[in-house]
Amino acid sequence: MLNPFKPLELIKAEVFTSMPTQFRNKSRTAWSDPNRQGAEVECFLEGPSFDREGNLWIVDIPFGRIFRISPQKEWDLVVQYDGWPNGLKIRADGRISGAVAVAVSLGAVTQLQRRAGLIAIGLPVHLMPFDFLRACGRPLTIIQGDQDAFGALPLVMALAAHVPGGARVVAIRGAAHNFAGHLDELARRLAESIPESLRPARPPAAPIGDDPSRVVS
């Protein structure tokens, strides 16, 4: 049988850096209990992203930490909070957004950028408490699949009702926790939930002919 793909190339991995001792504190956490069967952990690093200065940003899920590692391999703890950050993205304008697969990191990333509003995606309310949302102090939108096994929609709506000022819950019908088969709708709902103040400014419309009142938009 003809193999259309190139032969696999073996690449030897090399250690760039390791977490310094001062950041290691092996212990049980609310994350390790369900995810590591109660075992003690030192860290669980994910979400590597590079900024324009060459710094490597990573998240530490069980201890709610976000680190910045310089090209000289110097570690800096940027923020720590009560939550499980599970991803990171650096936007073109330099702002940092957090992504979460297991629990939504609403508290940490908002300290790194302007807090015009918060968006939660797939809150696993069966796995951990989200009482910290009551102190978010910003408009909150929760996007939840109505078939999410880790966060039943009635419990999410009950949580939203206890957020000061209320929270908007957007239910995606038929979606499970990973939103498989519903990613297009998730992207659309997410775009709709971004506060106007954080959306890119639209360029002015071009006038038609000599009449400035007639424009192309």
pLDDT digits (tens, 9 = 90+) for 116-131: 678 888 888 887 777 7
Q: What sign does the dihedral 166-167-172-178 (CA atoms) show?
A: negative
User: Could you give the CA distance from residue 175 to residue 206 in angstroms, rounded to a whole number?
Assistant: 41
181 is a domain residue: yes
137 is a domain residue: yes
DSSP notation for 139-159: -EEEEEETT-TTS-HHHHHHH
89 is a domain residue: no
176 is a domain residue: yes
- Find the CATH number of the domain harbouring 165: 3.40.50.1820
Range of the domain at 184: 115-196
133 is a domain residue: yes
User: Could you give the CA distance from residue 51 to residue 41 in angstroms, rounded to a whole number?
Assistant: 28
How far are the Cα atoms of 32, 48, 60, 213 from residue 135, in angstroms, in the given order? Answer: 25, 28, 22, 47
88 is a domain residue: no
When pLDDT is cut at 50, 70 and 90, the band that residue 73 belongs to is very high
pLDDT above 80 (res 213): no
203 is a domain residue: no
pLDDT digits (tens, 9 = 90+) for 37-67: 889 999 999 889 898 889 999 999 899 899 9
Q: What residue type is 46 in one-letter code? A: E
Number of domains in the chain: 1
